[in-house]
Chains A and B, each alone.
Chain A
Amino acid sequence: MDLIFILAETGGVAAELQAVGENLKSQFGLHGQLLFSQMIGFLVFAFLLKKFAFGPIQQMLDQRKMRIAEGEEKLKRIERQLAESEETTAAAIAKANDEAVRLINEAKQGAHTFSEQKAQEAIAQAQSILTKAEAAAKADRDRLIAELKGEFGRLVAATTAQVTGKVLNADDQKRINEDALAKVEG
Protein backbone atom coordinates (compact mmCIF):
# COMPACT_ATOMS: atom_id res chain seq x y z
CA MET A 1 0.00 0.00 0.00
CA ASP A 2 2.82 2.29 1.02
CA LEU A 3 4.74 1.35 -2.10
CA ILE A 4 1.80 2.27 -4.30
CA PHE A 5 1.50 5.56 -2.48
CA ILE A 6 5.20 6.28 -2.92
CA LEU A 7 5.05 5.42 -6.61
CA ALA A 8 2.05 7.62 -7.06
CA GLU A 9 3.84 10.38 -5.23
CA THR A 10 6.91 9.88 -7.40
CA GLY A 11 4.75 10.02 -10.48
CA GLY A 12 3.21 13.21 -9.15
CA VAL A 13 6.63 14.73 -8.55
CA ALA A 14 7.72 13.75 -12.05
CA ALA A 15 4.64 15.38 -13.53
CA GLU A 16 5.28 18.46 -11.40
CA LEU A 17 8.87 18.62 -12.58
CA GLN A 18 7.74 18.27 -16.19
CA ALA A 19 5.33 21.14 -15.72
CA VAL A 20 8.11 23.24 -14.20
CA GLY A 21 10.33 22.37 -17.15
CA GLU A 22 7.61 23.38 -19.61
CA ASN A 23 7.09 26.60 -17.70
CA LEU A 24 10.81 27.36 -17.76
CA LYS A 25 10.87 26.81 -21.51
CA SER A 26 7.81 28.83 -22.34
CA GLN A 27 7.97 31.63 -19.79
CA PHE A 28 11.73 32.05 -19.24
CA GLY A 29 12.78 31.17 -22.76
CA LEU A 30 14.98 28.28 -21.66
CA HIS A 31 16.30 26.83 -24.88
CA GLY A 32 18.84 24.09 -25.43
CA GLN A 33 20.74 25.80 -28.21
CA LEU A 34 20.79 29.16 -26.43
CA LEU A 35 21.91 27.54 -23.19
CA PHE A 36 24.66 25.61 -24.92
CA SER A 37 25.77 28.68 -26.91
CA GLN A 38 25.95 30.86 -23.81
CA MET A 39 27.85 28.18 -21.89
CA ILE A 40 30.36 27.60 -24.67
CA GLY A 41 30.59 31.39 -25.15
CA PHE A 42 31.52 31.82 -21.53
CA LEU A 43 34.10 29.02 -21.61
CA VAL A 44 35.68 30.55 -24.72
CA PHE A 45 35.70 33.90 -22.94
CA ALA A 46 37.38 32.29 -19.89
CA PHE A 47 39.98 30.65 -22.14
CA LEU A 48 40.76 33.94 -23.91
CA LEU A 49 40.93 35.81 -20.63
CA LYS A 50 43.36 33.20 -19.32
CA LYS A 51 45.49 33.57 -22.43
CA PHE A 52 45.49 37.36 -22.63
CA ALA A 53 45.12 38.49 -19.04
CA PHE A 54 45.52 35.94 -16.27
CA GLY A 55 48.45 34.06 -17.80
CA PRO A 56 50.72 37.04 -18.53
CA ILE A 57 49.75 38.89 -15.36
CA GLN A 58 50.25 35.87 -13.11
CA GLN A 59 53.59 35.21 -14.79
CA MET A 60 54.57 38.82 -14.21
CA LEU A 61 53.45 38.70 -10.57
CA ASP A 62 55.47 35.51 -10.05
CA GLN A 63 58.50 37.08 -11.68
CA ARG A 64 58.13 40.16 -9.49
CA LYS A 65 57.74 38.06 -6.35
CA MET A 66 60.86 36.11 -7.33
CA ARG A 67 62.76 39.36 -7.89
CA ILE A 68 61.62 40.70 -4.53
CA ALA A 69 62.64 37.45 -2.82
CA GLU A 70 66.02 37.58 -4.55
CA GLY A 71 66.41 41.22 -3.55
CA GLU A 72 65.60 40.41 0.05
CA GLU A 73 68.06 37.53 -0.01
CA LYS A 74 70.73 39.83 -1.43
CA LEU A 75 69.92 42.44 1.19
CA LYS A 76 70.31 39.87 3.95
CA ARG A 77 73.62 38.75 2.47
CA ILE A 78 74.82 42.35 2.21
CA GLU A 79 73.77 43.00 5.80
CA ARG A 80 75.63 39.91 6.89
CA GLN A 81 78.70 40.95 4.93
CA LEU A 82 78.42 44.46 6.36
CA ALA A 83 78.25 43.10 9.89
CA GLU A 84 81.25 40.87 9.22
CA SER A 85 83.10 43.77 7.63
CA GLU A 86 82.28 45.98 10.60
CA GLU A 87 83.60 43.31 12.94
CA THR A 88 86.78 42.95 10.88
CA THR A 89 87.21 46.72 10.74
CA ALA A 90 86.66 47.06 14.49
CA ALA A 91 89.21 44.31 15.12
CA ALA A 92 91.69 45.96 12.74
CA ILE A 93 91.14 49.35 14.40
CA ALA A 94 91.64 47.82 17.84
CA LYS A 95 94.81 46.11 16.65
CA ALA A 96 96.08 49.34 15.07
CA ASN A 97 95.24 51.17 18.27
CA ASP A 98 97.24 48.73 20.35
CA GLU A 99 100.12 48.98 17.90
CA ALA A 100 99.96 52.77 18.00
CA VAL A 101 99.97 52.80 21.80
CA ARG A 102 102.90 50.45 21.81
CA LEU A 103 104.79 52.63 19.29
CA ILE A 104 104.02 55.78 21.25
CA ASN A 105 105.26 54.18 24.45
CA GLU A 106 108.37 53.00 22.68
CA ALA A 107 108.89 56.44 21.20
CA LYS A 108 108.38 58.07 24.59
CA GLN A 109 110.88 55.69 26.15
CA GLY A 110 113.32 56.25 23.29
CA ALA A 111 112.94 59.98 23.55
CA HIS A 112 113.53 59.84 27.29
CA THR A 113 116.70 57.78 26.88
CA PHE A 114 117.92 60.02 24.12
CA SER A 115 117.21 63.13 26.14
CA GLU A 116 119.03 61.64 29.13
CA GLN A 117 121.98 60.74 26.96
CA LYS A 118 122.08 64.17 25.39
CA ALA A 119 121.87 65.82 28.79
CA GLN A 120 124.74 63.69 30.04
CA GLU A 121 126.70 64.54 26.97
CA ALA A 122 125.95 68.23 27.44
CA ILE A 123 126.96 68.05 31.09
CA ALA A 124 130.15 66.24 30.15
CA GLN A 125 130.84 68.75 27.44
CA ALA A 126 130.17 71.65 29.80
CA GLN A 127 132.42 70.04 32.39
CA SER A 128 135.13 69.65 29.82
CA ILE A 129 134.77 73.26 28.68
CA LEU A 130 134.89 74.39 32.30
CA THR A 131 137.99 72.34 33.01
CA LYS A 132 139.63 73.67 29.91
CA ALA A 133 138.67 77.25 30.82
CA GLU A 134 139.97 76.77 34.33
CA ALA A 135 143.23 75.34 32.98
CA ALA A 136 143.57 78.20 30.53
CA ALA A 137 142.83 80.74 33.27
CA LYS A 138 145.39 79.08 35.53
CA ALA A 139 148.00 79.07 32.75
CA ASP A 140 147.30 82.73 32.10
CA ARG A 141 147.59 83.60 35.76
CA ASP A 142 150.79 81.63 36.07
CA ARG A 143 152.17 83.31 33.02
CA LEU A 144 151.13 86.73 34.28
CA ILE A 145 152.56 85.97 37.69
CA ALA A 146 155.85 84.87 36.06
CA GLU A 147 155.89 87.96 33.91
CA LEU A 148 155.05 90.10 36.91
CA LYS A 149 157.76 88.46 38.91
CA GLY A 150 160.25 89.03 36.13
CA GLU A 151 159.25 92.65 35.81
CA PHE A 152 159.27 93.13 39.51
CA GLY A 153 162.71 91.60 39.76
CA ARG A 154 163.94 93.73 36.96
CA LEU A 155 162.54 96.86 38.56
CA VAL A 156 164.00 95.92 41.96
CA ALA A 157 167.37 95.26 40.36
CA ALA A 158 167.20 98.53 38.38
CA THR A 159 166.16 100.42 41.43
CA THR A 160 168.90 98.79 43.54
CA ALA A 161 171.51 99.56 40.90
CA GLN A 162 170.45 103.17 40.73
CA VAL A 163 170.32 103.56 44.49
CA THR A 164 173.61 101.81 45.11
CA GLY A 165 175.34 102.97 41.93
CA LYS A 166 176.77 99.61 41.60
CA VAL A 167 176.66 97.46 38.59
CA LEU A 168 174.90 94.29 39.52
CA ASN A 169 175.95 90.96 38.07
CA ALA A 170 173.63 88.18 37.29
CA ASP A 171 173.98 86.47 40.67
CA ASP A 172 173.27 89.72 42.46
CA GLN A 173 170.25 90.37 40.40
CA LYS A 174 169.01 86.85 41.05
CA ARG A 175 169.53 87.12 44.79
CA ILE A 176 167.91 90.56 45.02
CA ASN A 177 164.92 89.36 43.00
CA GLU A 178 164.42 86.29 45.17
CA ASP A 179 164.67 88.40 48.35
CA ALA A 180 162.23 90.94 47.03
CA LEU A 181 159.80 88.29 45.89
CA ALA A 182 160.07 86.46 49.15
CA LYS A 183 159.20 89.68 50.97
CA VAL A 184 156.32 90.45 48.63
CA GLU A 185 154.89 86.89 48.77
CA GLY A 186 155.72 86.55 52.42
Chain B
Amino acid sequence: MRHFPTIIAVWLFGLALPLQAAGDGHHELPFNAPVLVDFGFFKITNSMVAMWLVAAVIIFIAQLATRKISLVPSGLQNLLETVIEGLQDFLATIMGAKLARDTFWFFGSIFIFIICANWMGLFPGVGTIGINRVNEAGKIIEWAPFLRGANADLNMTLGLALAFFAMWLYWSVKANGPGGFLAHIFVYQGEGKGFIKIMLIAIFFLVGFLEVVSILIRPLTLTFRLYGNIYAGESLLELMLYMGGKWFGWLAALPFYFLELMVGAIQALVFTLLTAVFTSLMCTHDEEGEHGH
Protein backbone atom coordinates (compact mmCIF):
# COMPACT_ATOMS: atom_id res chain seq x y z
CA MET B 1 0.00 0.00 0.00
CA ARG B 2 2.91 2.34 0.80
CA HIS B 3 4.07 2.04 -2.85
CA PHE B 4 0.70 3.10 -4.19
CA PRO B 5 1.55 6.81 -4.80
CA THR B 6 4.79 5.80 -6.55
CA ILE B 7 2.96 3.31 -8.77
CA ILE B 8 0.33 5.91 -9.71
CA ALA B 9 3.03 8.48 -10.46
CA VAL B 10 4.94 6.07 -12.72
CA TRP B 11 1.68 5.09 -14.42
CA LEU B 12 0.68 8.66 -15.14
CA PHE B 13 4.18 9.42 -16.37
CA GLY B 14 3.88 6.46 -18.72
CA LEU B 15 0.53 7.71 -19.99
CA ALA B 16 2.04 11.10 -20.69
CA LEU B 17 4.92 9.63 -22.69
CA PRO B 18 3.10 9.07 -25.98
CA LEU B 19 1.95 12.64 -25.97
CA GLN B 20 5.48 13.86 -25.44
CA ALA B 21 6.78 11.55 -28.12
CA ALA B 22 4.10 12.22 -30.63
CA GLY B 23 3.58 15.88 -30.10
CA ASP B 24 0.17 16.68 -31.49
CA GLY B 25 0.08 13.65 -33.77
CA HIS B 26 -2.15 10.67 -33.20
CA HIS B 27 -0.79 7.20 -33.77
CA GLU B 28 -3.41 4.72 -34.76
CA LEU B 29 -2.69 1.22 -33.51
CA PRO B 30 -1.93 -0.86 -36.61
CA PHE B 31 -3.69 -4.22 -37.06
CA ASN B 32 -0.37 -5.98 -37.36
CA ALA B 33 2.54 -6.03 -34.95
CA PRO B 34 5.49 -4.09 -36.39
CA VAL B 35 8.68 -6.04 -37.00
CA LEU B 36 11.47 -4.74 -34.79
CA VAL B 37 14.32 -6.89 -36.02
CA ASP B 38 14.43 -8.68 -39.36
CA PHE B 39 17.07 -11.36 -39.90
CA GLY B 40 15.42 -12.33 -43.16
CA PHE B 41 14.58 -15.90 -42.21
CA PHE B 42 13.57 -14.86 -38.71
CA LYS B 43 11.60 -11.77 -37.75
CA ILE B 44 11.05 -10.42 -34.28
CA THR B 45 7.93 -8.34 -33.69
CA ASN B 46 7.14 -6.17 -30.71
CA SER B 47 4.36 -8.54 -29.63
CA MET B 48 6.84 -11.41 -29.70
CA VAL B 49 9.14 -9.44 -27.40
CA ALA B 50 6.17 -8.77 -25.11
CA MET B 51 5.36 -12.48 -25.08
CA TRP B 52 8.93 -13.41 -24.13
CA LEU B 53 8.89 -10.76 -21.45
CA VAL B 54 5.61 -12.01 -19.97
CA ALA B 55 6.81 -15.61 -20.12
CA ALA B 56 10.12 -14.72 -18.49
CA VAL B 57 8.46 -12.77 -15.67
CA ILE B 58 5.95 -15.55 -14.97
CA ILE B 59 8.61 -18.26 -14.98
CA PHE B 60 10.88 -16.14 -12.78
CA ILE B 61 8.07 -15.62 -10.25
CA ALA B 62 7.14 -19.31 -10.42
CA GLN B 63 10.70 -20.35 -9.74
CA LEU B 64 10.98 -17.83 -6.93
CA ALA B 65 7.82 -19.24 -5.39
CA THR B 66 8.88 -22.87 -5.63
CA ARG B 67 12.57 -22.46 -4.85
CA LYS B 68 12.12 -23.16 -1.15
CA ILE B 69 8.87 -25.04 -1.35
CA SER B 70 7.54 -26.27 1.98
CA LEU B 71 4.54 -28.11 3.40
CA VAL B 72 3.48 -24.97 5.24
CA PRO B 73 3.22 -22.37 2.47
CA SER B 74 3.99 -18.69 2.82
CA GLY B 75 4.42 -15.61 0.62
CA LEU B 76 4.68 -16.28 -3.09
CA GLN B 77 4.23 -20.04 -2.69
CA ASN B 78 0.92 -19.35 -0.99
CA LEU B 79 -0.19 -17.10 -3.84
CA LEU B 80 0.85 -19.58 -6.52
CA GLU B 81 -0.80 -22.48 -4.70
CA THR B 82 -4.03 -20.48 -4.41
CA VAL B 83 -4.00 -19.69 -8.13
CA ILE B 84 -3.14 -23.23 -9.23
CA GLU B 85 -5.50 -24.98 -6.83
CA GLY B 86 -8.36 -22.59 -7.63
CA LEU B 87 -7.83 -22.97 -11.36
CA GLN B 88 -7.55 -26.75 -11.18
CA ASP B 89 -10.71 -27.02 -9.07
CA PHE B 90 -12.50 -24.76 -11.53
CA LEU B 91 -11.39 -26.90 -14.49
CA ALA B 92 -12.34 -30.05 -12.60
CA THR B 93 -15.95 -28.86 -12.45
CA ILE B 94 -15.93 -28.72 -16.27
CA MET B 95 -13.76 -31.66 -17.26
CA GLY B 96 -13.74 -33.93 -14.25
CA ALA B 97 -10.86 -34.25 -11.82
CA LYS B 98 -8.73 -36.69 -13.81
CA LEU B 99 -8.84 -34.94 -17.17
CA ALA B 100 -8.38 -31.56 -15.49
CA ARG B 101 -5.25 -32.83 -13.76
CA ASP B 102 -3.84 -34.49 -16.89
CA THR B 103 -4.36 -31.40 -19.05
CA PHE B 104 -3.76 -28.74 -16.43
CA TRP B 105 -0.28 -27.92 -17.67
CA PHE B 106 -1.87 -26.63 -20.87
CA PHE B 107 -5.04 -24.92 -19.61
CA GLY B 108 -3.25 -23.48 -16.58
CA SER B 109 -0.56 -22.07 -18.86
CA ILE B 110 -3.16 -20.70 -21.29
CA PHE B 111 -5.04 -18.86 -18.56
CA ILE B 112 -2.00 -17.49 -16.76
CA PHE B 113 -0.32 -16.46 -19.99
CA ILE B 114 -3.36 -14.72 -21.49
CA ILE B 115 -4.31 -12.83 -18.34
CA CYS B 116 -0.73 -11.71 -17.68
CA ALA B 117 -0.16 -10.74 -21.31
CA ASN B 118 -3.43 -8.77 -21.41
CA TRP B 119 -2.63 -6.93 -18.20
CA MET B 120 0.95 -6.32 -19.20
CA GLY B 121 -0.41 -4.54 -22.28
CA LEU B 122 -1.82 -1.95 -19.89
CA PHE B 123 1.53 -1.15 -18.33
CA PRO B 124 2.85 2.31 -19.01
CA GLY B 125 5.29 2.25 -21.87
CA VAL B 126 3.76 -0.75 -23.63
CA GLY B 127 2.63 0.51 -27.02
CA THR B 128 3.67 4.05 -26.14
CA ILE B 129 7.45 4.01 -26.16
CA GLY B 130 8.95 3.36 -29.56
CA ILE B 131 10.41 4.88 -32.68
CA ASN B 132 9.11 6.55 -35.79
CA ARG B 133 10.36 4.85 -38.92
CA VAL B 134 11.12 7.19 -41.79
CA ASN B 135 11.61 6.60 -45.48
CA GLU B 136 14.49 7.84 -47.59
CA ALA B 137 12.76 11.18 -47.97
CA GLY B 138 12.63 11.56 -44.21
CA LYS B 139 8.89 11.12 -44.03
CA ILE B 140 7.44 9.08 -41.15
CA ILE B 141 6.06 5.85 -42.52
CA GLU B 142 5.49 3.79 -39.39
CA TRP B 143 5.28 4.16 -35.65
CA ALA B 144 6.93 1.13 -34.08
CA PRO B 145 6.50 0.76 -30.32
CA PHE B 146 9.05 -1.49 -28.64
CA LEU B 147 6.32 -3.46 -26.92
CA ARG B 148 2.75 -4.31 -27.86
CA GLY B 149 0.11 -6.30 -26.03
CA ALA B 150 1.03 -9.88 -26.95
CA ASN B 151 -2.58 -10.81 -27.69
CA ALA B 152 -3.11 -7.78 -29.91
CA ASP B 153 -1.29 -9.76 -32.58
CA LEU B 154 -3.14 -12.25 -34.73
CA ASN B 155 -0.04 -14.46 -34.95
CA MET B 156 -0.06 -14.89 -31.18
CA THR B 157 -3.77 -15.63 -30.77
CA LEU B 158 -3.79 -17.96 -33.77
CA GLY B 159 -0.67 -19.62 -32.38
CA LEU B 160 -2.48 -20.24 -29.09
CA ALA B 161 -5.58 -21.53 -30.88
CA LEU B 162 -3.57 -23.87 -33.13
CA ALA B 163 -1.54 -25.13 -30.17
CA PHE B 164 -4.85 -25.91 -28.47
CA PHE B 165 -6.22 -27.55 -31.62
CA ALA B 166 -3.17 -29.80 -31.88
CA MET B 167 -3.42 -30.78 -28.21
CA TRP B 168 -7.18 -31.26 -28.51
CA LEU B 169 -6.65 -33.64 -31.43
CA TYR B 170 -4.02 -35.56 -29.48
CA TRP B 171 -6.14 -35.84 -26.31
CA SER B 172 -9.24 -36.79 -28.29
CA VAL B 173 -7.53 -39.56 -30.23
CA LYS B 174 -5.78 -40.73 -27.07
CA ALA B 175 -9.06 -40.90 -25.15
CA ASN B 176 -11.18 -42.50 -27.90
CA GLY B 177 -8.74 -44.16 -30.27
CA PRO B 178 -8.72 -43.17 -33.98
CA GLY B 179 -11.90 -45.15 -34.72
CA GLY B 180 -13.59 -43.94 -31.57
CA PHE B 181 -12.68 -40.37 -32.43
CA LEU B 182 -14.46 -40.60 -35.79
CA ALA B 183 -17.33 -42.57 -34.29
CA HIS B 184 -17.73 -39.86 -31.69
CA ILE B 185 -18.40 -37.37 -34.48
CA PHE B 186 -20.35 -39.43 -37.03
CA VAL B 187 -21.96 -42.36 -35.27
CA TYR B 188 -25.29 -42.37 -33.44
CA GLN B 189 -24.71 -43.96 -30.04
CA GLY B 190 -28.15 -43.68 -28.51
CA GLU B 191 -30.96 -46.19 -28.32
CA GLY B 192 -33.82 -46.86 -30.69
CA LYS B 193 -35.41 -49.49 -32.86
CA GLY B 194 -36.33 -50.07 -36.47
CA PHE B 195 -36.93 -47.18 -38.81
CA ILE B 196 -36.36 -44.48 -36.22
CA LYS B 197 -32.94 -45.88 -35.45
CA ILE B 198 -32.01 -45.97 -39.15
CA MET B 199 -33.15 -42.36 -39.51
CA LEU B 200 -31.16 -41.30 -36.48
CA ILE B 201 -28.05 -43.04 -37.78
CA ALA B 202 -28.39 -41.22 -41.12
CA ILE B 203 -29.06 -37.86 -39.48
CA PHE B 204 -26.14 -38.23 -37.09
CA PHE B 205 -23.84 -39.17 -39.96
CA LEU B 206 -24.82 -36.02 -41.86
CA VAL B 207 -24.64 -33.88 -38.73
CA GLY B 208 -21.11 -35.24 -38.30
CA PHE B 209 -20.02 -33.16 -41.31
CA LEU B 210 -21.45 -30.06 -39.68
CA GLU B 211 -19.60 -31.05 -36.52
CA VAL B 212 -16.35 -31.26 -38.50
CA VAL B 213 -16.94 -27.75 -39.85
CA SER B 214 -17.71 -26.56 -36.32
CA ILE B 215 -14.51 -28.18 -35.04
CA LEU B 216 -12.44 -26.55 -37.79
CA ILE B 217 -13.98 -23.16 -37.11
CA ARG B 218 -13.23 -23.31 -33.39
CA PRO B 219 -9.57 -22.17 -33.67
CA LEU B 220 -10.66 -19.24 -35.81
CA THR B 221 -13.34 -18.10 -33.38
CA LEU B 222 -10.94 -18.43 -30.49
CA THR B 223 -8.31 -16.47 -32.42
CA PHE B 224 -10.48 -13.56 -33.49
CA ARG B 225 -12.40 -13.28 -30.21
CA LEU B 226 -9.20 -12.80 -28.22
CA TYR B 227 -7.45 -10.69 -30.81
CA GLY B 228 -10.51 -8.49 -31.43
CA ASN B 229 -11.13 -7.78 -27.77
CA ILE B 230 -7.55 -6.95 -26.92
CA TYR B 231 -6.89 -4.96 -30.08
CA ALA B 232 -10.13 -3.02 -29.58
CA GLY B 233 -9.19 -2.32 -25.96
CA GLU B 234 -5.79 -0.97 -26.88
CA SER B 235 -7.25 1.12 -29.70
CA LEU B 236 -9.84 2.50 -27.31
CA LEU B 237 -7.16 3.51 -24.81
CA GLU B 238 -5.14 5.21 -27.52
CA LEU B 239 -8.20 7.05 -28.76
CA MET B 240 -9.06 8.23 -25.27
CA LEU B 241 -5.50 9.45 -24.75
CA TYR B 242 -5.80 11.42 -27.98
CA MET B 243 -9.28 12.77 -27.24
CA GLY B 244 -8.32 13.95 -23.77
CA GLY B 245 -5.79 16.31 -25.26
CA LYS B 246 -2.22 16.98 -24.30
CA TRP B 247 -2.81 17.48 -20.58
CA PHE B 248 -5.93 15.47 -19.83
CA GLY B 249 -5.44 12.45 -22.07
CA TRP B 250 -4.45 10.36 -19.05
CA LEU B 251 -7.67 11.35 -17.27
CA ALA B 252 -9.86 10.43 -20.23
CA ALA B 253 -8.16 7.05 -20.54
CA LEU B 254 -8.09 6.23 -16.83
CA PRO B 255 -11.64 4.75 -16.51
CA PHE B 256 -11.01 2.58 -19.54
CA TYR B 257 -7.93 1.13 -17.90
CA PHE B 258 -10.20 -0.42 -15.27
CA LEU B 259 -12.49 -1.66 -18.03
CA GLU B 260 -9.53 -3.21 -19.81
CA LEU B 261 -8.36 -4.86 -16.62
CA MET B 262 -11.73 -6.57 -16.50
CA VAL B 263 -11.75 -7.39 -20.22
CA GLY B 264 -8.26 -8.88 -19.93
CA ALA B 265 -9.37 -11.23 -17.15
CA ILE B 266 -12.66 -12.12 -18.83
CA GLN B 267 -11.01 -12.94 -22.14
CA ALA B 268 -8.48 -15.18 -20.41
CA LEU B 269 -11.32 -16.93 -18.65
CA VAL B 270 -13.42 -17.25 -21.83
CA PHE B 271 -10.53 -18.70 -23.84
CA THR B 272 -9.69 -21.19 -21.09
CA LEU B 273 -13.31 -22.08 -20.47
CA LEU B 274 -14.11 -22.70 -24.15
CA THR B 275 -11.01 -24.75 -24.79
CA ALA B 276 -11.71 -26.78 -21.64
CA VAL B 277 -15.32 -27.37 -22.71
CA PHE B 278 -14.25 -28.43 -26.23
CA THR B 279 -11.80 -30.91 -24.71
CA SER B 280 -14.32 -32.13 -22.20
CA LEU B 281 -16.93 -32.75 -24.94
CA MET B 282 -14.57 -35.09 -26.69
CA CYS B 283 -12.67 -36.74 -23.86
CA THR B 284 -15.09 -37.39 -21.03
CA HIS B 285 -17.75 -40.04 -21.11
CA ASP B 286 -21.04 -40.38 -19.27
CA GLU B 287 -20.10 -43.76 -17.84
CA GLU B 288 -17.07 -42.18 -16.13
CA GLY B 289 -19.47 -40.23 -13.99
CA GLU B 290 -18.01 -36.97 -15.21
CA HIS B 291 -19.45 -34.22 -17.32
CA GLY B 292 -20.68 -35.96 -20.38
CA HIS B 293 -21.72 -34.65 -23.75
Contacts and interface: CB of A to CB of B under 8 A. Distances in A.
Nearest to A37: B48
Nearest to A29: B32
For chain B, the bracket of interface size reads 35 or more
A29 B159 contact: no
B56 to A, nearest CB: 9
Given A42-B160, A57-B81, A61-B85, A49 B109 contact: yes
B132 interface: no
Interface in B65-116: 65-66, 69, 71, 73, 77, 80-81, 84-85, 88, 101, 104-106, 108-110, 112-113
Most interface-central of A38, A45, A56, A57 (chain B CB within 10 A): A38
A52 B32 CA distance: 33
A84 B51 CA distance: 63
B185 interface: no
B57 to A, nearest CB: 11
Task: State the majority secondary structure of interface residues on A.
Answer: helix
Interface string A23-62: 0100111110111111101111111111011101110110
A64 interface: yes
B51 A41 contact: yes
B31 A28 contact: yes
B59 interface: yes
A49 B33 contact: no
Given A29-B153, A46-B106, A54-B108, A60 B71 contact: yes
A92 B210 CA distance: 79
B154 interface: yes
B274 interface: no
Given A54-B108, A56-B69, 15 more contacts: A29-B153, A29-B154, A29-B155, A31-B43, A33-B43, A34-B48, A38-B48, A38-B156, A39-B163, A41-B51, A41-B159, A42-B51, A46-B106, A50-B109, A56-B66
19 contacts: A28-B154, A29-B31, A29-B45, A29-B153, A30-B158, A31-B155, A33-B41, A34-B33, A34-B43, A34-B45, A38-B47, A38-B156, A41-B55, A42-B160, A43-B163, A46-B113, A49-B109, A60-B81, A61-B84
Interface of A: 24, 27-31, 33-39, 41-50, 52-54, 56-58, 60-61, 63-64, 67
